[in-house]
Homo-oligomer: A and B are copies of this chain.
Amino acid sequence: MASNNSESKDVRHKIVLTRDLGPDVMGLLRDREENYLELVLWDKEEPCNRDWILKNAPGASALIVLITDKIDTEILDAAGPKLLVVSTMSVGYEHLPMKELAKRGIKVGYTPDVLTDAVADITIMLALMAGRNARETMNIVNEGKWPEYNWAPFLFCGRQLSTSASSRKRTAGFIGFGRIAQATLSRLIPFGFTDCIYTSSPSSKPTPTRDAQLAQTLGLRSVRRVNLGTLAEESDAVFVLAPGGEATLNLVDEQFLRKMKKTAVLVNTSRGTLVDSDALAKALREQWIWGAGLDVVKGEPGISADHPLVKEQRCAILPHIGSATYETRVEMGTLAVQNALAAIFEKPMPAAFDLTGYQ
């Protein structure tokens, strides 16, 4: 290892971890522990206790935290002036006090990008499940009711994600057109999708050249930025893949859903707040649209069995497992640790959050 002042044996850095991240990730820290690091670890299965963080933070160089750990000024004060970095194993950062971190010059690490493929996979899965009545038909089997159904030409029929001889056009509509949306779009190409439309944040600049290149690369007839009404009207599958927060609250509301095709599906794998749950339940009940696939629901995880969306058989709901694969979670944990170590040892962080806007 290259010699480096801050890695000398005289300076042992305290790292506080709010969770055991499994052998693959922890190994990265254990390797250096003897010489350079003091690890303080919450090793229980339940979420880390706030009092435990307050008690163990003093003198820490790094806090490695999860999305469930609310970090605030009191914790930063408890940590004291040695704190160089807060590194979260998440792409979201609603649990971090960004302004305060910027003010104190504490670096922030997060884990974007590594979850792109895991989320794109589940987005495709939910689009298929919504179109093919997967929840409804799987329940029929699980409840032992399959024997009650006789084959018939249109029994259990759903809507086909793929094009077919009599239905040669498919339009994918993306609310938000970042990395996950584009990874989803690339997966839709062999299903025969012909067109892509998307909406972006009103403040972002149009990118017609990029769009034309993307269409050519993917063999699509068009990639176009449109307004929300056009997106609702023209899409065969609508994918909600924009950030949460006030600016996107209830973007998919009754007005939007009424404009959608009766044969179209809605998929949300970003944040529950973007979709008005009551409006969507009504749209499914009254068959304004064909079906929905949700990995996120407003108010999660407080979703009971009598939630209006849970009651709709045409709504397949997953408990926010978009990034929940071993591959991706190990990569997220690895990146969180690498961010912390880089900040401590004064090297470039692989995924530093840009705090410029908070200063």
Contact = CB atoms under 8 A, between A and B. Distances in A.
Contact of A191 (B121, B306, B321, B325): B121
B121 A321 contact: no
A21 B155 CA distance: 12
Contacts of A310: 141-142, 144
A160 B19 contact: no
A8 interface: no
A159 B327 CA distance: 7
A186 B117 CA distance: 18
A1 interface: no
Given A125-B134, A157-B326, 11 more contacts: A66-B151, A121-B160, A135-B142, A140-B319, A146-B302, A159-B326, A164-B327, A164-B328, A166-B330, A166-B331, A186-B190
A137 interface: yes
A168 B337 CA distance: 22
A317 B155 contact: no
A316 interface: yes
The oligomer's copy count stands at 2
A161 to B, nearest CB: 5
Given A66-B151, A325-B160, A303 B124 contact: no
Contact of A129 (B125, B142, B150, B326): B125
B160 A117 contact: yes
Nearest to A302: B147
Contact of A318 (B137, B152, B162, B192): B137
A358 interface: no
